[in-house]
Amino acid sequence: MSPNLDLAAIVRGLHAARDDWRTAHHRDARGRELPSPQVIEQMVEQLKGALFPMRLGPPQLRSDSEDFYVGHTLDAAMLALQGQAVLELGHAGREARLPEPQLLERAARVVREFAQALPEIRRLLDTDVMAAWQGDPAARSVDEVLLCYPGVLAMIHHRLAHKLYALGLPLLARIVAEIAHSRTGIDIHPGATIGRGFFIDHGTGVVIGETAVIGERVRLYQNVTLGAKRFPVNDDGTLAKGQPRHPILEDDVVIYAGATVLGRVTIGKGAVIGGNVWLTHDVPAGGSVSQARTSEGHGVA
């Protein structure tokens, strides 16, 4: 039995709602103006296969056809990226009304730079994999952390997203980051600068802000926040965008579960921040901060 709707009336109602929105926001919407999360999700899956073919690629892959798989998959991924980059650049510059050929050329240049960066991204990710293996006594093999550690998955997405962000595609970068956020509960802003050998254990609830700067071999546990104390304000009271407002973590810092670090503070090299600590000031190199109650508890592994 059909519900017997007045479908046409509902379609008209939705049409009117869209019209009101578009009028209010000066949109004409002749065609798609915005990137497609589905397309980007597929592209990231392809990139993961191209970066780690024998572990994240198709089950039946063999090493003597690895390069063919990598080349073919990269080609598809970069073609998709080109299309999405054109959409983002066009949308960002819709007031400047950049002519189409210029838009295409700019997108092509960005895609080229991104593609050239992939070998280096792979090498960086290898350091993250090593860090996960060394940091978790429960890990049995350096290979397996790539297959099942959410912190490693989040870093694959972050290192790709961070490059897109640096190349002037912050929306694509954000979509890449949010896919990881959805799957892992780890929310790293694509703007965050993160050094080699970074490891997040368990991960759910971690939040890292846009201007955070993280050194080498840093380790975080679940529910750690690296946030802003307050938003910097311009003289006229408007929010000052892009100002450094999140913490700096020097090399070898460890921050245990539930700790919150806010503002442009610096946690010195090798410092250890205990579980659930709430911190809004600098900590010297080698320092250690903890709540009395947490002095003995550091992890779950």
Residues of this chain, 3-22, that bind a second copy according to CB under 8 A: 3-5, 7-11, 13-18, 20-21
Could you give the angle at the alpha carbon of 41 between the alpha carbons of 38 and 45, nearest 5°? 140
Q: Is 258 in the site for a second copy (CB under 8 A)?
A: yes
Residue with tokens 């080229």: 112
Q: Is 90 in the site for a second copy (CB under 8 A)?
A: no
25-30 long-range contacts, CB within 8 A, separation 24+: none
Could you give the angle at the alpha carbon of 226 between the alpha carbons of 224 and 228, nearest 5°? 140
Q: Is 106 in the site for a second copy (CB under 8 A)?
A: no
One residue of 41, 70, 244, 269 binding a second copy per CB under 8 A:
70
Task: Considering the complex, state which of residue 19 and residue 284 has its C-beta at the smaller distance from a second copy.
Answer: 19
Q: How many residues bind a second copy (CB under 8 A)?
A: 132
How far apart are CB 22 and a second copy at their closest, in Å?
A: 9
Task: Considering the complex, state which of residue 27 and residue 284 has its C-beta at the smaller distance from a second copy.
Answer: 27
Q: What is the DSSP string of 121-189?
A: HHHHHHHHHHHHHHH-TT---TTHHHHH-HHHHHHHHHHHHHHHHHTT-HHHHHHHHHHHHHHHS-EE-
Binding to a second copy in span 192-251, by CB under 8 A: 202, 204-205, 207, 209-210, 222-223, 225-231, 239, 241, 246
How far apart are CB 271 and a second copy at their closest, in Å?
A: 18
3-state secondary structure at position 276: coil
Task: Considering the complex, state which of residue 51 and residue 218 has its C-beta at the smaller distance from a second copy.
Answer: 51
Q: Is 49 in the site for a second copy (CB under 8 A)?
A: no
CA distances to 74, 107, 133, 222, 248 from 129, rounded to whole Å, are 22, 31, 6, 18, 22
Q: Please check whether residue 212 is in contact with residue 230, taking contact to mean a CB–CB distance below 8 angstroms.
A: no
Binding to a second copy in span 110-129, by CB under 8 A: 111-112, 115-116, 118-119, 122-123, 126
How far apart are CB 131 and a second copy at their closest, in Å?
A: 14
Residue with tokens 């509902």: 10
How far apart are CB 265 and a second copy at their closest, in Å?
A: 11
Site string for a second copy, 158-197 (x = CB under 8 A): ------------xx--xx-xx--xxxxx-x-x--------
Residue (of 141, 136, 262) closest to 203 by Cα position: 136
One residue of 23, 102, 288, 301 binding a second copy per CB under 8 A:
301
CA distances to 29, 32, 158, 178, 188 from 262, rounded to whole Å, are 40, 39, 21, 22, 15
Q: Please check whether residue 196 is in contact with residue 158, taking contact to mean a CB–CB distance below 8 angstroms.
A: no
Task: Considering the complex, state which of residue 149 and residue 199 has its C-beta at the smaller distance from a second copy.
Answer: 149
Residues in the chain: 301
How far apart are CB 129 and a second copy at their closest, in Å?
A: 9
Task: Considering the complex, state which of residue 144 and residue 216 has its C-beta at the smaller distance from a second copy.
Answer: 144
Task: Considering the complex, state which of residue 149 and residue 198 has its C-beta at the smaller distance from a second copy.
Answer: 149
In the chain, what's the furthest Cα-to-Cα distance? 71
